[in-house]
């Protein structure tokens, strides 16, 4: 297949190199970066850098660009709102976009019960507020998070996150009354024999944690990603989340689903919880909700959200009117154009191709995912499932030097993930997968 992507200079090009020198002198070194690319413009599923190199985007701004970069309708909505007013603070004056976003989220999120929504600036801030709501409504202090989880980099969210390096290293003491529960990562838990047995075993451990180590009268909430994102795109066995919901319901524990990465049609449903028919008490959204602008939400049972005293939730920039305008348009587009169906179609094609790649590359240990949230776990030894972290990094570097931006993730940094905008064309998808194939060949040598 003839390539449509023209790499005009070495990567990084001369302008990017010059900017990179200034970056290293002026920007905190703790800020992570995957590539040395400085973007000039982006559209749909392509990115162009300042040296006019073009790239296919399999990262989507880390699941932020489900509707694509610079969607013209979102851009128009942002421009119109910015021309009217950019800020008043919702505590001071109200505006319609906030209301309409809240109404739509109440209608679209799982659960046939009365709901309320709080809009915020980021996923981490939304997780923090979901925990505040659960603790306030229940009068209990303890929160249970999952192994391999990622919820953010603030004090509470890094405490909830299940990876010490680099997220918690040197930032202690951490928030109190946070406990860790097992998540069924069956690929690395073969001792259970089958996925359902793995799910039952993990649930039994959670029940023991609640009843024996903490005390059910102390547990305010359990928070989980329906599909773990930064943990490695781990899809739980079919029975796990329904059983988890039952454990919480029987004990009066608030079930929080972090759908920051899985929501907004990414898994082939508007929200991943729909795959299992689970209705969380609180659901956290962010990332693709704003189509590229920072906005997040906590949506949940009215009796929980309304239990918090007036003034207990909010913030100066929460529910910014320009970001609300973007979110309102994103939600409209996703419903009108059936983005969940687009995600399912893309995911089927990618999963099939990943399985084909696994047949040719010994480096691939497992293919997994739901809808347009797909991943391959790389291992240097399939029998031992030895994480191939170095090879994953080599594949990422080869890919961006040949016109594809792809990210790695997972507890061991050995999982390559697919998060392309759901507007990616067939030609772009095919070419990106060809580059990834070559990257795996390169990394495997």
pLDDT digits (tens, 9 = 90+) for 177-232: 999 999 999 999 988 999 999 999 999 999 999 999 999 999 999 999 999 999 99
Whether the upstream peptide bond of residue 166 has omega within 30° of 0, thus cis, is yes
Tens of pLDDT, residues 80-129: 999 999 999 999 999 999 999 999 999 999 999 999 999 999 999 999 99
Query: What residue segments make up the domains of the chain, in order of their start?
Result: 14-63+339-443, 73-336
Q: Are 297 and 117 in contact (CB under 8 A)?
A: yes
Assigned token pair, 320: 């910014």
260 — pLDDT class (breaks 50, 70, 90)? very high
Considering the chain, what percentage of its residues have pLDDT values greater than 70? 98
pLDDT at 5 over 50: no
- SS3 assignment, position 82: helix
Backbone angles phi, psi at 304, to 5 degrees: -80, -50
Would you state the CATH architecture of domain 14-63+339-443?
Answer: Alpha-Beta Complex (3.90)
CA dihedral angle for residue 198, residue 204, residue 210, residue 214, rounded to 10 degrees: -90
Tell which residue, 323, 329, 333, has the closest CA to residue 294. Answer: 323
What CATH number belongs to 73-336? Answer: 3.40.640.10
Q: How far is CA 132 from CA 79, 142, 143, in A?
A: 34, 11, 10
Tell which residue, 274, 278, 273, 275, has the closest CA to residue 243. Answer: 278
Mean pLDDT of 375-400: 97
pLDDT at 300 over 80: yes
445 — pLDDT class (breaks 50, 70, 90)? confident
d(CA 327, CA 321): 10
């Amino acid at each position: 297949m003839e390539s449509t992507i023209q790499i005009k200079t070495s990567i990084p090009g001369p302008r990017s190199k010059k900017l990179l020198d200034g970056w290293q002198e002026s920007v905190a070194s703790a800020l992570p970066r995957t590539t040395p690319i400085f973007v000039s413009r982006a559209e749909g599923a392509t990115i162009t850098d300042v040296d006019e190199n073009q790239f296919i985007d399999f990262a989507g701004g880390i699941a932020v660009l489900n509707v694509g970069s610079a969607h013209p309708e979102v851009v128009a909505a942002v421009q119109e709102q910015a021309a009217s007013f950019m800020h008043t603070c919702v505590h001071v004056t109200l505006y319609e976009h906030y209301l309409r976003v809240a109404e739509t989220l109440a209608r679209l999120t799982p659960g046939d019960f009365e709901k309320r929504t709080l809009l915020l600036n980021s996923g981490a801030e939304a997780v923090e507020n979901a925990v505040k709501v659960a603790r306030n409504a229940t009068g209990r202090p303890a929160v249970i998070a999952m192994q391999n989880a990622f919820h953010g980099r603030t004090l509470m969210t890094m405490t909830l996150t299940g990876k010490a390096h680099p997220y918690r290293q040197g930032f202690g003491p951490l928030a109190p009354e946070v406990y860790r529960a097992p998540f069924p990562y069956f690929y690395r838990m073969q001792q259970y024999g089958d996925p359902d047995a793995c799910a039952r075993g993990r649930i039994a451990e959670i029940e023991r944690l609640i009843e024996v180590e903490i005390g059910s009268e102390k547990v305010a909430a359990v928070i989980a990603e329906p599909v773990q994102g930064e943990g490695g795109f781990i899809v739980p066995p079919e029975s796990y989340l329904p059983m988890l919901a039952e454990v919480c319901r029987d004990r009066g524990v608030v079930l929080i689903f972090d759908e920051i990465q899985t929501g907004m049609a990414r898994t082939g449903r508007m929200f991943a919880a729909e795959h299992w028919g689970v209705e969380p008490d609180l659901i956290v959204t962010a990332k693709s909700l704003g189509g590229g602008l920072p906005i997040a939400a906590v949506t949940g049972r009215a009796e929980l959200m309304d239990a918090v005293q007036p003034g207990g939730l909010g913030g100066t920039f929460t529910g910014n009117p320009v970001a609300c305008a973007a979110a309102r348009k994103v939600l409209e587009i996703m419903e009108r154009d059936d983005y969940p169906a687009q995600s399912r179609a893309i995911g089927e094609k990618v999963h099939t191709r990943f399985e084909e790649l696994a047949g040719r590359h010994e480096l691939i240990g497992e293919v997994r995912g739901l809808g347009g949230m797909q991943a391959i776990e790389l291992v240097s030894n399939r029998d031992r499932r030895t994480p191939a972290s170095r090879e994953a990094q080599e594949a990422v570097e080869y890919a961006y030097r040949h016109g594809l931006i792809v990210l790695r993730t997972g507890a061991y940094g050995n999982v390559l993930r697919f998060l392309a905008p759901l507007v990616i064309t067939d030609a772009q998808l095919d070419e990106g997968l060809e580059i990834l194939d070559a990257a795996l060949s390169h990394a495997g040598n």
